[in-house]
Amino acid sequence: ERFEQIPGGGLRGVVAGRACLAGNARLMEDGDVDAAFASEQAQRLADEGKTVLFFAVDGELAGLIALADEPKPRSAAALAELSHMGIRTVMLTGDNERTAHAIQKRVGTDDVIAGVLPQGKEEVIRDLQKQGTVAMVGDGVNDAPSLARADVGIAIGAGTDIAIDSADIVLMKSDLADVPAAISLSRATMRNIKQNLFWALIYNVICIPVAAGALSFAGVTLNPMIAAAAMSCSSVCVVSNALRLRGWKPVVLGEVASALEPDAAPHAASGAALASEAGVPTMDGPSAEDGDGSPVSAGHSEEVQTVKPKEIIMEKKLSVEGMMCQHCVAHVKKALEGVEGVEEAVVDLDSNSATAKLSADVADQVLVDAIVDAGYEAKVVE
């Protein structure tokens, strides 16, 4: 009864006639609950990178539990690549300082801003924008205002709908490695555009006056047929240069990590802020989900092993009902790729279908159950 959710604090309510609190140390303090006798244990758990939740009944501490997010395996390499690109990362989290710094040691972000309330994230982004261009990665409801405030909002594909709607970019694979890939592709595109503008400008500056007869007094003229051919040639050159982007490939994370200096710390992000040469861009994400469990300690680097993909022995196509948007596509893809033996899942919203590429024989019902568990109807059609 009388259930109440306290932003940045926890929960309050009455259970079987007894007043109960569940949340962080700040909530216990606000509720006049003495948690001093458990402080040593709480600090030890926080130093291990765990979030400590306290529980109180009728104003007295009843116990505590510790939660820890599982870091994603490719994030350290992804943040190492961002560092190699000259981008600064900041972890923006609601966890306390001890937990946040423990996570930072594991994942290696440049800076940490801890203890940020949900409404405070947007204010942090605004402050960072005074230093430069800001990009942010997030996936939760609390991240939506910050994603909208940032110069570039990047949402995790498996995140909440409001976060996805607020972002400029959606990472369909929910993989932090796609962040440096997106930045690299953006830079390659802008470089291509500038090249095309430069050559088109130089071409016109030189050829138009000649074609107009500005140098005819010196005997320099341009036959109209040659001028028309030259104009076509110019267009072909510009289009051909733009088409080079079709061959663009993201840099392999392992190659980037091994190319770093020995004393360069890898960077992974759990709520991270990114800063470019022009300033301090920032990326925020879900507390510690985007970290990596294999950090490299200061003073040496760790080789990132490239895992050879398993051989695809068969494909199975499924009809999926209930998908309404790309967010649904991401959920179905994640559900299928979570099945052992599924190396890759290709989901098409237009045809309401999904193709599972298998490295082992997986029963049809297992694939169907995975999609059903994700909230959609499915059946194998091939």
Whether residues 92 and 166 fall in one domain? yes
Going by C-alpha positions, the residue among 290, 286, 262, 276 that lies closest to residue 106 is 290
For the ranges 8-17, 40-49, 163-172, the one whose mean pLDDT is highest: 8-17
Write out pLDDT tens, residues 135-181: 998 887 778 888 888 999 998 877 677 778 888 888 887 778 888 88
Average pLDDT over residues 171-197: 88
Whether residues 23 and 139 fall in one domain? no
Write out pLDDT tens, residues 205-256: 888 888 777 777 877 777 888 878 888 888 888 899 999 888 888 765 554 4
To the nearest 5 percent, what fractions of the chain are helix, strand and coil? 40, 20, 40
Whether residues 83 and 35 fall in one domain? no
Under 8 Å between Cβ of 180 and 81:
yes
Domain final residue, candidates 15, 46, 67: 67
Cα angle 53, 55, 60; round to 5:
135
Domain final residue, candidates 307, 331, 352: 307
Whether residues 301 and 318 fall in one domain? no
| pTM confidence score | 0.55
Going by C-alpha positions, the residue among 217, 262, 270, 290 that lies closest to residue 93 is 270
What CATH number is attached to the domain comprising 15? 3.40.1110.10
Bridge partners for 342 per DSSP: 358
What is the edge-to-edge ordering of all strands in the sheet holding 272-275? Answer: 111-113, 88-92, 272-275, 135-138, 152-156, 169-171
Whether residues 212 and 285 fall in one domain? yes
Whether residues 292 and 226 fall in one domain? yes
Whether residues 220 and 265 fall in one domain? yes
Handedness of CA 369, 374, 376, 381 (dihedral sign): negative
Whether residues 202 and 348 fall in one domain? no
Whether residues 242 and 263 fall in one domain? yes
Query: d(Cα 377, Cα 162) in Å, to the nearest integer?
Result: 24
Whether residues 133 and 34 fall in one domain? no
Average pLDDT over the chain reads 78
Its domain, for residue 11, covers 4-67
- Total count of domains within the chain: 3
Higher local confidence (pLDDT), 353 or 95: 353
What CATH number is attached to the domain comprising 289? 3.40.50.1000
- For 323-334, what is the HEC assignment? CCCHHHHHHHHH
Q: Would you place residue 374 in the very low, low, confident or very high pLDDT band (cuts 50, 70, 90)?
A: confident
Domain final residue, candidates 307, 322, 351: 307
Pairing of strands 135-138, 111-113: unpaired
Query: d(Cα 336, Cα 249) in Å, to the nearest integer?
Result: 25
